[in-house]
Chains A and B, each alone.
Chain A
Amino acid sequence: MLQVDNLNVYYGNIHAIKDISFDIKQGEIVTLIGANGAGKSTILKTLSGLLRSKTGSIKFMDQDIHHMVPNAIVKNGLAHVPEGRHVFAQMTVEENLEMGAYTRKSSEIAPSLEHIYDLFPRLKERRRQTAGTLSGGEQQMLAMGRAMMSKPTLLMLDEPSMGLAPILIEQIFDIIKELHKQGTTILLVEQNAQMALSIADRGYVLETGRIVLSAPARDLLEDDAVRKAYLGG
């Protein structure tokens, strides 16, 4: 479904992503783990068109999306929940969700809204509130619901657990599993490697812009080097 080959991304002179290749198959949960600054978010931003790679290719559903503008990429079914959630704080919860469906026909919005409200009853309760008044966990739910409003086939999540209490992290991961069960393929970027690997099929380990390890998630959970570096022993 997604095939990335020899991707190189620069910030000015800084070589942030070094010759990265990876792939995601339909129906998988794939996770990228690694320390702060390893380049995880940069990869997602490049996939969604916010950043341009210098060389390499990105194929999504057999289409080259490498030089597409972000709005065309969303339309193709690739949605990105950015790190730090980035909800529109001054707009209401419902308006945020409507923005998520920007690329779709307005007649398709109402059924999708219902679907999202079923998944996130909290959002329904708060739909007339501005997003800035929500708690961190609710904002994360909103950011995920908003991305799902575009009916993506591949959902990319950047640090969904960041800054959340353990009980909320559990909830967010339950929802990720639910979205996956309903047929969405997931690319999950996490610093919380334990959580990410526990729900993923496969994982890639990033270190300073390079993929140093790729394996089924179960194997990574048991790998000594990974345990030492990312799972706290």
Chain B
Amino acid sequence: MLFISQLLNGLQLGSIYALVALGYSMVYGIIMLLNFAHGDIIMIGGYIALFSIASGVHPALAVVMAIVGCMLLAMLIEKAAYKPLRSAPRISLLITAIGVSMLLQNVAQLLFGAGARSFPSSSIINAQNLSFGGIQISITAIVTIIVTIISMLVLTFLVQKTKMGKAMRAVSEDLGAAQLMGINVNHVVSFTFAVGAALAGIGAILYCCRYPLVSPTMGSLLGLKAFVAAVLGGIGSIPGAMVGGLAIGLAEVLVTAVGLSAWTDGVVFAILIIVLTFRPTGFFGRSMMEKV
């Protein structure tokens, strides 16, 4: 009984991590950048949804606005901050990403105040629980899992079957050869940021439905944990991000369930250390060896 509701709980959390982790992994796969501003995109998505609902916009439209807002913001960040550094050393890009993350957090603090605001989650998903013969099932968890599955299916189709998706795979595998095919790398990079941010936007809404608080720093820990999930799955790998996200979510809930809730964050980062020590390529990561 308890097991099932805990399992759902873990899958719910893991789904959110997976959605966010995909953004890290896809961007890394394309331009080898750990986009540490990705978590803060989620925070902006949360505020967009919060303010639009508060000003009377229909919740469904508010969700769409949050997702589109995240996409536009991510594309803007890429154009303004990362694109000029395309041929710079990777460390410059990384430092820039950390800078963008700080910028977003501080701008949000300046505009919206440092305190947390409560998120009207019940206007998006009815927060009541279902009860089946003593098992409490959270509707939010079910919706989260279903939305995540649909998102993953759409993403898989996009990456496997569409022209742009194939171009993404080509660029992530061999940038030079992709250029020789006539692929416009700038378009592909923009597209990748937009897709990653759309998933982050969906993740933002689902996260706010689980923890209905929005604050300027809400994205940083969520972002870091999703980053751990991406590394665990193998950074750059799309199925890896999905599996890694679920694994981290389940691990957190397991740690809480055995009564060590104070240790959840610690366990997640311990996983990062273990993965980086013993299997830096994660579950599905490409090895660094190149075939000659």
Chain A interfacial positions (CB closer than 8 Å to B): 48-50, 69-71, 74-75, 79-80, 82, 84, 86-91, 95, 98-100, 102-103, 106, 132, 146-147, 150
Contact = CB atoms under 8 A, between A and B. Distances in A.
A70 B186 CA distance: 12
Nearest to A104: B182
A183 B118 CA distance: 69
B291 A70 contact: no
Contacts of A79: 180
20 contacts: A50-B176, A70-B180, A70-B182, A71-B183, A74-B180, A74-B182, A82-B180, A87-B177, A88-B169, A88-B173, A88-B178, A89-B291, A95-B166, A100-B181, A102-B163, A102-B181, A103-B181, A106-B163, A146-B181, A150-B181
Given A100-B181, A102-B182, A82 B163 contact: no
Interface of B: 163, 166-167, 169-170, 173-174, 176-184, 291-292
Contact of A71 (B169, B174, B182): B182
B181 A74 contact: yes
A75 B182 CA distance: 7
Nearest to B169: A91
Contacts of A69: 184
A91 B180 contact: no
Given A74-B180, A88-B169, A91-B170, 6 more contacts: A74-B181, A74-B182, A91-B173, A99-B167, A102-B163, A106-B163
Interface centre among A50, A75, A106 (most CB of B within 10 A): A50
- For chain B, what secondary structure do more than half of its interface residues adopt (helix, strand, loop), or is it mixed? helix
Most buried by B among A88, A90, A146: A88
A80 B173 contact: no
A100 B170 CA distance: 11
B163 A90 contact: no
Contacts of B163: 98, 102, 106
A71 B166 contact: no
Contacts of B173: 88-91
Contacts of B183: 71, 99, 102
Given A102-B181, A103-B182, A86 B174 contact: yes
Given A86-B174, A89-B291, A102-B163, A80 B169 contact: no
Given A71-B182, A102-B182, A86 B167 contact: no
Contacts of A146: 181
Given A88-B169, A106-B163, A49 B179 contact: yes
Nearest to A84: B292
A15 B292 CA distance: 27
Nearest to B176: A50
Nearest to A70: B179
A217 to B, nearest CB: 26
Contacts of A147: 180
Contacts of A88: 169-170, 173-174, 177-178
B170 to A, nearest CB: 5
Contact of B176 (A86, A103, A106, A132): A86
Contacts of B179: 49-50, 70-71
Contacts of B178: 88, 99
Contacts of A49: 179
Contacts of A95: 166, 169
Contacts of B182: 70-71, 74-75, 102-103, 150
A49 B184 CA distance: 12
Nearest to A95: B166
B166 A91 contact: yes
A80 B180 contact: yes
B156 to A, nearest CB: 15
Given A50-B176, A82-B176, A132-B291, A90 B169 contact: yes
A99 B170 contact: yes
Contacts of A90: 169, 173
Contacts of A150: 181-182
Nearest to A72: B182
B177 A82 contact: yes
Nearest to A96: B170
Contacts of B292: 84
Contacts of A89: 173, 291
Question: Which of the listed residues B163, B177, B178 has the most CB atoms from chain A within 10 Å of its own CB?
Answer: B177
Nearest to B187: A71
A106 B166 CA distance: 13
A95 to B, nearest CB: 6
Contacts of B174: 86, 88
A150 to B, nearest CB: 6
